[in-house]
């Protein structure tokens, strides 16, 4: 079993924020796969289903970003799973818009959602890092991540979420390098790749 947790903030006010790309990607996986409806569980909205032959729980914490670890740790404890069964999808300032990178463990790079999960569980989980770009000045980061994607960004956001959903069977099967390669090729084929229009 695998838990795929998308990070974001709950509620309509935040739904299209850059910080919520984890939620958007998890929604795309749910739409593409064989999942039941999202229901309130583990201080989150959770949906259970199959990706390939793997049983998967999709999780969207309702705790707000800074307390994501409360929800994710509760889900893992309830399901009696260790960190190897967790993949977290989150926004990444240090990657260009539309770039997807997967890594296991590491620091939180100032990301409050990752910091919370690591504080509750340790750092040895998979992170699907989705580039949103950087505003260029550290002082602008807070407003940048909590602002909506521009209309001109809709194309690459949709392409990234679709690519992650299409490659999710590889993530569920533990084929991390193939997952990353497939998402990269799909985003590039959609006309975005390294330099999406922003």
* Alpha carbon distance 91, 18 (integer Å): 7
Q: Cβ atoms within 10 A of the Cβ of 144, count?
A: 18
Q: Are 65 and 8 in contact (CB under 8 A)?
A: yes
Catalytic site includes residue 184 = no
Handedness of CA 172, 174, 176, 178 (dihedral sign): negative
Q: Which of 19, 28, 15 is nearest to 4 (CA)?
A: 28
DSSP-derived secondary structure letter, 164: H
Burial 169-192 (b: 16+ CB within 10 A, else e): bbbbeeebeebbebbbebbeebeb
- The residue from 19, 42, 111, 184 that is catalytic is 19
CA angle 153, 62, 46 (to 5 degrees): 90
Q: Cβ atoms within 10 A of the Cβ of 86, count?
A: 23
| Active site (catalytic) residues | 19
């Amino acid at each position: 079993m695998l838990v795929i947790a998308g990070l974001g903030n709950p509620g309509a006010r935040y739904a299209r924020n850059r910080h919520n790309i984890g939620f958007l990607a998890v929604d795309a996986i749910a739409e593409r796969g064989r999942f039941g409806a999202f229901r309130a569980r583990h201080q989150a909205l959770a949906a259970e289903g199959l990706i390939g032959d793997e049983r998967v729980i999709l999780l969207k914490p309702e705790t707000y970003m800074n307390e994501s670890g409360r929800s994710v740790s509760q889900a893992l404890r309830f399901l009696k799973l260790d960190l190897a069964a967790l993949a977290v999808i989150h926004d990444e300032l240090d990657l260009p818009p539309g770039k997807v990178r997967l890594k296991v463990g590491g620091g939180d790079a100032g990301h409050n959602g990752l910091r919370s999960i690591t504080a509750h569980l340790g750092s040895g989980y998979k992170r699907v890092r989705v580039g949103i770009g950087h505003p260029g000045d550290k002082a602008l980061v807070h407003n940048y991540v909590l602002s909506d994607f521009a209309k001109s960004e809709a194309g690459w956001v949709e392409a990234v979420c679709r690519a992650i959903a299409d490659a999710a069977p590889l993530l569920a099967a533990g084929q991390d390098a193939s997952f990353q390669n497939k998402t990269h090729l799909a985003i590039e084929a959609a006309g975005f790749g390294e330099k999406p229009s922003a």
